[in-house]
Structure 1
Amino acid sequence: MPFLSYGRQTIEEDDIAAVAEALRDEFLTTGPRVEAFERAFAGATGARHAVACANGTAALHLAMLALEAGPGDAVVVPSITFLATANCARFVGAEAIFADVDPQTGLMTPDTLAEALERLEGRRLKAVAPVHLRGDVADVAVLELLAKSAGGVLVEDAPHALGSRYAAGNRIGQVGDCACSAMATFSFHPVKTIATGEGGMVTTNDDRLAERLRTLRTHGMVRPAGGDPWRYDMAEVGFNYRLPDILCALGLSQLAKLERFAARRRELAAHYARALAPLAPLVRPAASPEGSDPVLHLMTVLIDFEAAGRSRRQVVEAMRDRGVGTQVHYIPVHTQPYYRDRFPGLRLPGAEAWYARCLSLPLYPAMADEDVERVGQALAAALGL
């Protein structure tokens, strides 16, 4: 039986053909497929603008640059996330202030944000960056109100959540529509909902922010109207964060399949709920907060390893021996040596409780229903059930 990794890309013959066609064209980069991908992505998310870039970390960095975050500013981020969410605040000289999370969902909440805002220690709040972990959507409507009341804006870190929906009052929103945020950032790493190999996107409804994002991804270069055709001006330092046409060709092909990919992920998540039910109460899927309608990127379960009499490492190795890969999302970022030195003694019990129990199981569209059963059986055996 093939090894089941926790996540993988779904690349089909038409994806390969799209890339091959791009390779035969005049432009390998900075060509028409970039704008085509951006237009299609804006349409898929409901945002006014979408700005493509090199990867998800570049998307977050560009968002911080566009907001002009810098020394003396603070960006509040959840501790349960990938390193990039916090690091991008540090890239621009701002401080990353860690918010705790709900130990059942792994998400920043209004209560944990309110507590983090009490630790700004005189810094100006520039942004709050909730992470839509696994594809579940944080309470963006309330988080936005709290961010605004403290003088900042919301930037959604949404690489896991393409296709996810959420309820905000009487409105159903789509992640990336930026109805409650200044910007939302995405990643197209191979394990994400759509893949370009590496790649990222920032969506926004703000014309000024969109223009800054486009300028900053290309070295800060601006071509003055009516100037010499070779002329460009650089008023501020930018970066080479462009996404090539070759990868945009793959992105366009993948984006056309978003509805199918999303539907299959929903089907697999429902099948997991049934397959894992006999393992309760030792094992249960991570909770979805009220109002979140996710397309799950990660199938994360919470396991009472102590009650099972097994360490997480023992479970991971036993499942690997049965051909099933797993992963941990995530080690709390506030416990990393760099941030531990910046915030000695910081304790975030929700994040630490989440980390102690979480394990991500295989989830990707090419999985068969029988694969879910196989994962459930491997987990039961690994736990001695």
Structure 2
Amino acid sequence: MINYGKQSINQDDINAVVDTLKSDFLTTGPKVKEFEEKLAKKLNFKYVVAVSNGTAALHLASLCLLNKGDKVITTPISFIATSNSILYANAKPIFVDIQKNGLINLDLVEEKLKKENIKAIYLVSLTGLMFDEEKVKYLKEKYNVKILYDNAHYFGRDSGICDIATYSFHPVKHITTFEGGAVATNDKKTYEKLLRLRNHGIVKDNSMYPWEYKMIDLGFNYRLSDVASALGISQLERVDKFLEKRKEIAKYYHQNLPSYIKPLYPYNENSSYHLFVVQYDFKNLDEKAKFFTKMKQKGINLQVHYIPIYKHPYYKKRGIKASCPNAEEYYLNSFSLPIYYDLSFEEVDYVIDSLKGCLG
């Protein structure tokens, strides 16, 4: 089966994991700190806190940025973890429609900012495409809002505009730590709070007794193990190669897809291309489902990224509504093609020929 995404594991990765399994520390040891420091350097942040998964990263980031009742603007086209993290902090997600390229429409965001008291904007770099950061900076400064970048799909150097960025290291992402994630910031107080929240809200305090520790926040066990961190360190050594191959595949799709299957946006060498999303004019979701079945019979596992979040039963039950016609159209017409480091161009040709056979 050719999946839409897949990890790349080589012997160096295996050796790194095995060496750590033989070491004194399987968790809360030196590999975690090493991974964090290398990530911080690669991503251009002062501080990085590694956590157990990308959802944990969003949860802790939300607890640092938000208070109960805060209103947060975000996109309906993301994995549910983005807006769920707002709910975890007892805040309220407000969905704003997307542009044709899948990113939230910043002009519509500004219209909301003019009308309502908004605490933060959660920006999702869908597929690995970043925003107009001059516009983001303008909104942040003019309306005094916090900015979170959900960079589960993006991997690259940060510009310093956001207050917090979160990352995911699930196997289909740019690098993997089995499951895993990270929170990045340039603010020391936020960093210190993230460290506490990751580890049950505990700080060490040996002022009276050598064993003493104190819980000062209601935290969680969101630690990343040394074994997972060792894999992450090894993967970081190859992340530039991973990114370059994704761009090569993306460019190849652009050059060879039939005209009736349209990429979500023109080729962009600054995109991380976690996903390669294309669009086709389906009559309805039933037609789209039949197409998915045909492709799966050919050994190709496509995916849809994503169902508009407000359509999920839980959000409906909570009375969270939105009017996002572009998101609805995106959901009907979009699907993700295979793109990952170990995907061969012979396999890409097979995917393209299969698309022609099923949709031509």
Instruction: Please point out which of 144, 150, 161 is paired with 1:157.
Output: 150
- Output the CA distance in 2 between the equivalents of 1:365 and 1:371: 12
- Matching of residue 19 in structure 1 with residue 36 in structure 2: no
What is the DSSP-based 3-state SS (H/G/I as helix, E as strand, rest coil) of the residue aligned with 2:300?
A: coil
2:272 maps to a residue whose letter is: V
What is the DSSP-based 3-state SS (H/G/I as helix, E as strand, rest coil) of the residue aligned with 1:111?
A: helix
Instruction: Please point out which of 99, 106, 120 is paired with 2:102.
Output: 106
1:43 alignment counterpart: 41
CA contact 2:310–2:320 (8 Å) conserved in 1: no
CA contact 1:138–1:292 (8 Å) conserved in 2: no
Q: Could you tell me the percent identity over the aligned residues?
A: 39
Moved more, 223-232 or 104-113: 223-232
2:50 alignment counterpart: 52
Q: Deviations over 1:12-64 (max 9, x none)?
A: 11101100000000000000000000000011111111110010000001101
Instruction: Please point out which of 3, 6, 15 is paired with 2:4.
Output: 6
Report the TM-score, using the length of structure 1 for normalisation: 0.89
Cα gap change, 1:344 to 1:284, in 2 (>3 Å): same
Unaligned residue ranges in structure 1 (runs of 5+): 164-173
CA contact 2:95–2:322 (8 Å) conserved in 1: no
Cα-Cα RMSD: 1.9
What is the DSSP-based 3-state SS (H/G/I as helix, E as strand, rest coil) of the residue aligned with 2:49?
A: strand
1:166 alignment counterpart: none
Report the TM-score, using the length of structure 2 for normalisation: 0.95
Instruction: Please point out which of 267, 288, 312 is paired with 2:288.
Output: 312
- Matching of residue 203 in structure 1 with residue 175 in structure 2: no
1:87 maps to a residue whose letter is: N
- Output the CA distance in 2 between the equivalents of 1:310 and 1:72: 39
Cα gap change, 1:193 to 1:39, in 2 (>3 Å): same
CA contact 1:134–1:298 (8 Å) conserved in 2: yes
2:164 alignment counterpart: 183
Cα gap change, 1:221 to 1:181, in 2 (>3 Å): same
What is the DSSP-based 3-state SS (H/G/I as helix, E as strand, rest coil) of the residue aligned with 1:262?
A: helix
Shift of 1:149: 2.9
* Superposition pairs of residues 330-341 of structure 1, within 5 angstroms: 330-341=306-317
1:380 alignment counterpart: 356
1:167 alignment counterpart: none
Q: Deviations over 1:235-262 (max 9, x none)?
A: 2211111000000000000011011101
CA contact 1:134–1:299 (8 Å) conserved in 2: yes
2:77 maps to a residue whose letter is: I
- Output the CA distance in 2 between the equivalents of 1:111 and 1:338: 28
- Output the CA distance in 2 between the equivalents of 1:378 and 1:244: 41
1:171 alignment counterpart: none
What is the DSSP-based 3-state SS (H/G/I as helix, E as strand, rest coil) of the residue aligned with 1:274?
A: helix
Instruction: Please point out which of 146, 149, 156 is paired with 2:139.
Output: 146
Count of aligned residue pairs for this structure pair: 360
- Output the CA distance in 2 between the equivalents of 1:199 and 1:144: 29
1:246 alignment counterpart: 227
CA contact 1:113–1:143 (8 Å) conserved in 2: no
Shift of 1:132: 0.3
Q: Deviations over 1:294-329 (max 9, x none)?
A: 12000110111239x981111111111111110000
2:7 maps to a residue whose letter is: Q
What is the DSSP-based 3-state SS (H/G/I as helix, E as strand, rest coil) of the residue aligned with 1:129?
A: strand
- Matching of residue 354 in structure 1 with residue 343 in structure 2: no
Shift of 1:228: 2.3
Q: Deviations over 1:191-217 (max 9, x none)?
A: 001011100001111111111111110
Unaligned residue ranges in structure 2 (runs of 5+): none
- Matching of residue 133 in structure 1 with residue 109 in structure 2: no
Cα gap change, 1:345 to 1:78, in 2 (>3 Å): closer
